[in-house]
Chains A and B, each alone.
Chain A
Amino acid sequence: MTRALVHLRRAMHWARHAGPARLVLVAAAILGIVAAVRPELLTSQDPNAINAHAILVGPSWSHWLGTDEEGSDVLARIIYGTRLDLLLAVGSAGIAGLVGFPLGALAGYRGGVTDYVLQSFAISTLAFPLILFAVLIVASFGASLLTLIGILAFLFTAQVFTVARAQAKALREREFITAATVSGIRTTHLLRRHLFPNARGPVLVLLPQLMATAIIAEAGLSYLGLGVQPPSITWGTILEASENYYQQQPYYAVAAGLVVTVSAGLLMFAGDVISESLDPRRRRAAAAWPPPRASTAPSGARPAPATKAAGPPSPTSPTRGAASLSPVIAGPGGEGGGSS
């Protein structure tokens, strides 16, 4: 009970110091998760209800965003569509992070032939236009959520790999890594304690951006008829279905597109906010957009709580202390090392 109270007080403390940008992001994340896990809490309508008497009607009290070509409530469909979109975004970006990050950090740290070969593969994978690659895979494997997650995870892994590798490569030359190497600690320990915590910053910035890409890509593939097939609901399938009704019922089509745009925009914005809060000196704040400053405080220094609060929660404070000895280098955020 007291633990819960402590957490609550911490959360309230965070909320007071977070600033509007972070509050909006957290609110949106909570809304998204609720919509994905318990969509029935947000709407009482059945997303698949067919109603021949209310086809393509405009917004009303019973249908806030109107109805679609089968008389189903558009808002309910959007809410129920969140689940698969979120699963796709989190799944693909998560796999990419879990595979790409250790692989990239290790390759960058070790160097040598393996690094060279892996980097070549990553470069050529990134040369594949996402849509073309997806078309190729879907053409032979068929369209399903798993196929989509696989396609995106594969391409995203190459991206995470490139970023993590560049970061580890830069870290390798730093004194604290040399010192750790010379001190004779085990390599796994060196990686876990010194290399990974310092290399992860740019990857944490990249992950929400990849999630945004996943959502936009899903919409695009659905538009081409290569996405998740009905009766599964995703934002992409809603957008595709709405294509023919722009004139009859603009709310329908505009709402479907706006949901994708706003979600992707918020995710990209989240990447910027993370990038800002990870950079203690904010010297390279230019590497990604700094979010608009709401307070009149000078942009030079910001009180500690904001930086601490937005970072990943660290239950083990001793590790945190050790890690903070080694400074985090903020690399060029989302650009992902285009040159090689």
Chain B
Amino acid sequence: MSEPKTIALHTTNLVVGYTKDKKDFPLFEELNLSLHSGELVCFMGSNGIGKTTLIKTLAGLQKPLQGSFKFPKDQSVAVVLTDRITSSLMTVYDLVTYGRYPYLNWDISLSPKDYEIIDNAINQVHVESLVSKRLYELSDGQLQMAMLAKALAQNTPILFLDEPTAHLDLNNRVEIMNILRSLSRTSGKTILIATHELDLALQTADRIWLATPDRKILQGIPEDLVLDGTFDEVFQFKGFDLKTGKVSHEAYRKVTIQLEGNGYEYLWTKNAFERNGYEVKPAALIKVSVIQNGNKLIWTILKDNEEKSFYTLAELLESLESRILKV
């Protein structure tokens, strides 16, 4: 983007944590972070490191131990937390209405403008069909959408979300992230998401905040943090190669296979072999080729001048295994 970035949030030597028995227990120290207008930042770090505490502190729900942070104006943050709503009889519409509360008098009368903002929020997360449903009737994904609509109805320039995709299936996770992504692009909202979803974060975030075990937060764009090994250092991955995005497999069968093919077919066949302990190399005694015939896939295996074809990978793997056992 060519336009100059405006600061939406800035922290100065911020120390956050909790107080117990009048003693301070800092979780993060000396934070000098900033959020720019219209960017989507994913805040990552291992469990219990203090992501929720920082989000709550920045949202004004708890006091910082030291230091300060500044917004351009008051009432500029809406939050989606992990707290469950116990009032299950509430309708989705009523839940979204809460977003207008900061602007309403004691008698909570909604103006036509408020209704318009509420309808907009409902449209933005596509929950029009759920408005008269009660919270106990919703799936986890729908409930999260409703909570997001409530936060949007607050009409704030900044949005904080704590683990918005926890407990959701892949489809819902992707949908939530897409909605957030488009919100930051189209309506210029600044969005901070605390999340564990490494893959989604790497693919959607403009920047990453990465909590380190020494109570600091590193900042950077996703690709830089992957390539310079920061992620590996912080997460200490066990058997996961971030650069290829794959779980590492041990080639325990000591059998190498030469694989020929293209595109997705090639990748998934390779995945099947590696997952089952075979090693895939450019040249080997066992040759497997995958070709597309019409809308069918055919795998052909060539070994000792003997050729055999299969229509599923399962059959191929079974045959491979029985041959190895024979030898």
| B is bound to A | no
Interface residues, chain B, with chain A CB atoms under 8 Å away: none
Interface residues, chain A, with chain B CB atoms under 8 Å away: none
